[in-house]
């Protein structure tokens, strides 16, 4: 297996011996070593990683066919260059509409006060 994009390999059923490129004896479980992955476990891979998988029988459990699921990582460029700015723009437009409504209500209230009938001495003084 050599993924073109980063992602996560999920063992859904069975067990596999996973060998990554690199030294193995002193590096088991590290980026260049070997791993035994059982059902429910996940392994993160980077684009271009080399991984060899072999189905194995785990002692104490019956042999099973292996079922794997590959989930590519989300495209972070899309998130940072498009999705996040679009979300920020949506929030800004919503705030602008809210502020515009408050401005119209405030202006109407102010105009109504300024143009309304004068009922006390303050009106005559303000005018």
Instruction: Render pLDDT for 85-126 as a digit per residue (tens, 0 to 9).
Output: 898 999 999 999 999 999 999 999 888 776 666 666 565 555
Q: Is residue 1 part of a domain?
A: no
pTM: 0.51
The whole-number pLDDT of residue 32 equals 60
- Domain range enclosing 122: 77-126
Q: Is residue 48 part of a domain?
A: yes
Mean pLDDT of 37-47: 92
Note the pLDDT tens digit of each residue in 47-88.
899 999 999 987 877 777 899 999 998 776 777 788 888 989
Instruction: Looking at the structure, tell me whether residues 88 and 116 fall in a common domain.
Output: yes
Instruction: Looking at the structure, tell me whether residues 58 and 81 fall in a common domain.
Output: no
The whole-number pLDDT of residue 57 equals 87
Rounded CA gap, 54 and 18, in Å?
7
Confidence of residue 33 (pLDDT cuts 50, 70, 90): confident
Instruction: Looking at the structure, tell me whether residues 12 and 69 fall in a common domain.
Output: yes
Instruction: Looking at the structure, tell me whether residues 32 and 56 fall in a common domain.
Output: yes
| Residue 11 burial by Cβ neighbours in a 10 Å radius (0-12, 13-18, 19+) | buried
Neighbours of 126 (CB within 10 A): 9
Rounded to the nearest angstrom, the gap between the alpha carbon of residue 12 and the centroid of all alpha carbons in its chain is 23
> Which residue in 12, 24, 14 sits closest to 52, CA to CA?
24
Terminal Cα distance for the chain, rounded: 83
Rounded CA gap, 9 and 40, in Å?
10
Q: Is residue 89 part of a domain?
A: yes
Which residues partner with 118 through β-bridges? Answer: none
Confidence of residue 27 (pLDDT cuts 50, 70, 90): very low
Count of domains forming the chain: 2
Give the end of a domain, one of 57, 73, 89.
73
Which residues partner with 15 through β-bridges? Answer: 38
Q: 50, 30 in Cβ contact below 8 A?
A: no
């Amino acid at each position: 297996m050599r993924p073109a994009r980063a992602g996560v390999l999920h063992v859904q059923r069975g067990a596999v011996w996973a060998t990554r490129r690199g030294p193995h004896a002193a590096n088991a479980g590290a980026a260049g070593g070997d791993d035994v992955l059982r059902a429910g476990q996940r392994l993160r891979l980077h684009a271009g990683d080399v991984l060899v998988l072999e189905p194995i029988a785990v002692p104490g459990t019956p042999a099973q066919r292996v079922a794997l699921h590959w989930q590519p990582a989300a495209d972070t460029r899309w998130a940072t260059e498009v999705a996040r700015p679009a979300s920020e723009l949506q929030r800004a437009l919503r705030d602008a509409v809210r502020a515009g409504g408050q401005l119209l209500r405030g202006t109407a209230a102010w105009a109504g006060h300024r143009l309304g009938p004068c009922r006390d001495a303050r009106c005559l003084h303000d005018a």
